[in-house]
Amino acid sequence: MISAKQILSLVIGGALGTVFRYLIYIVTYSKTHAGYSWGTFSVNCIGCFVMGFAYAFFSGKISMDESLRLMIVVGFCGAFTTFSSFVFENFCFIRDGQILLSFINIIGGVILGLACLWLGMVLGELV
């Protein structure tokens, strides 16, 4: 069962992740004005780095409260970018020798995600 302290940790981490994501978008957009989505690209790379660092750091380097780990890894990184979770899960599949499962997850997730986005747009226009 999730505790009130864990929920509060997730809310705080999520709020901070959302704010930082928006700030990075604003900074990259104001500096580039390019057709490429540098903000999203930057957030995804930073989020992957933070998740990788936090996972390694919190896996035995220090003893810390579970709520702080939830705040950073799940709350902050989850709100900052879900791409970091996607990459981390695929890394674990590859690390565990489940290359085919990782390939299916990567290709399937992207293709199905595009299909679901398109379907949602089509249905949204019909309503």
Question: Is 94 a domain residue?
Answer: no
**pLDDT, position 34:** 65
Both tokens of 52, joined, read: 């990788």
| pLDDT computed for residue 58 by the predictor | 79
Mean confidence (pLDDT) of the chain: 88
120 in a structural domain? no
Our CA angle for 27, 32, 33, nearest 5°, is 105
Range of the domain at 51: 4-82
* pTM passes above 0.85: no
Residue 51 lies in a domain: yes
40-46: average pLDDT: 88
Domain annotation covers residue 26: yes
In a domain, 29, yes or no: yes
- Give the whole-angstrom CA distance, residue 124 versus residue 19: 28
Which residues, 6+ apart, have CB-to-CB distance to 79 below 8 Å?
13, 14, 15, 16, 17, 18, 21
Percent over 90 (pLDDT), the chain: 48
Domain count, the chain: 1
- Greatest mean pLDDT among 51-55, 97-101, 116-120 lies in 97-101
- Does the residue 112 lie in any domain? no
In a domain, 93, yes or no: no
- Give the amino acid at 121: M
Q: Which residue has the tokens 């990459």?
A: 87
